[in-house]
C-alpha cells in the first residue's frame, strides 16, 4: 500500500509527462509526430493541387515566403474559419511576398469544391497518404493536425505553430512574418 503523498507524486508526474508529450511544454515533438527543425531546410514536397498545373512543390516557391498550413478537413467549422481568415488577409500576404498553401488529406476534388464555396484564391494540396503531413509532424491517424509553418524564400523553416486558434491564426502569422522579414 502506498501513501497518499506517494500516490499524488506519481499522479502529478504522470500528468506532467502526458502534458509534455502533448506539447504543452516546448519540445521538438507535437501530437502528430516529430517536428522539423527550425533554421534548417524545410522538408521537400510535391503534392497535387486544385489550382495551376496540378502539382506544387516546395521548390516552386523558391524566392517567396511560404505559409504552409495543415488542417484536418474541408468544410468543417474550424477549417472553414481558418481558410476564410487567410483569404481575408491574402492581400497582406501578397504585399509581403508570401504564398499561403493549405494541406489536408482531402482529395483534389474536395479542395476544388471548398475553394469554390469559400472563394479561396490560394492553393490547397491533397496529401491523401499523409506523407507530407508526416514529414512535418502533423499527421495523426487519417488526417492532418492543425499546424502551420513559415518557410523563408530560400526554403529554410523559420517558424512552427502547433497551438493554432483558427479565428486569429492568420493575424498571428502576419505578425511573426513581419518580425522575420525585419530581422
For 156-167, the pLDDT digits (tens) are 999 999 989 999
Looking at residue 63, the DSSP 8-state letter turns out to be T
Half-sphere exposure of 145 (CA within 13 A, CB side): 25
What would the pLDDT profile of 16-37 be if each residue is shown by its tens digit?
A: 333 333 443 333 555 677 999 9
For 55, list phi and psi in degrees, rounded to 5. Answer: -145, 150
Cell of 82: 481558418
Assigned fold of 31-182: Glutaredoxin (3.40.30)
Q: Average pLDDT, whole number, for the chain? A: 86
Please identify which residue in the block is written with the cell numbers 508570401. Answer: 98
Is 115 among the catalytic positions?
no
The residue annotated as part of the active site, out of 35, 56, 79, 157, is 79
Question: Mind listing the pLDDT tens digit for each residue in 116-130?
Answer: 999 999 999 999 999
Domain-wise residue ranges, the chain:
1-27, 31-182
Query: Which of 153, 140, 59 is CA-nearest to residue 97?
Result: 153
Amino acid at each position: 500500500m502506498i501513501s497518499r503523498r506517494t500516490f499524488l507524486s506519481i499522479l502529478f508526474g504522470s500528468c506532467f509527462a502526458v502534458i509534455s508529450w502533448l506539447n504543452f511544454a516546448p519540445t521538438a515533438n507535437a501530437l502528430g509526430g516529430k517536428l522539423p527543425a527550425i533554421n534548417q531546410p524545410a522538408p521537400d514536397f510535391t503534392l497535387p493541387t486544385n489550382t495551376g498545373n496540378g502539382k506544387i512543390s516546395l521548390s516552386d516557391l523558391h524566392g517567396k515566403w511560404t505559409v504552409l498550413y495543415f488542417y484536418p478537413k474541408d468544410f468543417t467549422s474550424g477549417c472553414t474559419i481558418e481558410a476564410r481568415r487567410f483569404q481575408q488577409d491574402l492581400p497582406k500576404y501578397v504585399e509581403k511576398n508570401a504564398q499561403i498553401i493549405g494541406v489536408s488529406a482531402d482529395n483534389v476534388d474536395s479542395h476544388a469544391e471548398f475553394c469554390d464555396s469559400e472563394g479561396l484564391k490560394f492553393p490547397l494540396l491533397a496529401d491523401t497518404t499523409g506523407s507530407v503531413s508526416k514529414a512535418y509532424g502533423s499527421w495523426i491517424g487519417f488526417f492532418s493536425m492543425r499546424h502551420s509553418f513559415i518557410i523563408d524564400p530560400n526554403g529554410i523553416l523559420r517558424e512552427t505553430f502547433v497551438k493554432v486558434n483558427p479565428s486569429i491564426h492568420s493575424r498571428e502569422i502576419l505578425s511573426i512574418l513581419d518580425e522575420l522579414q525585419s530581422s
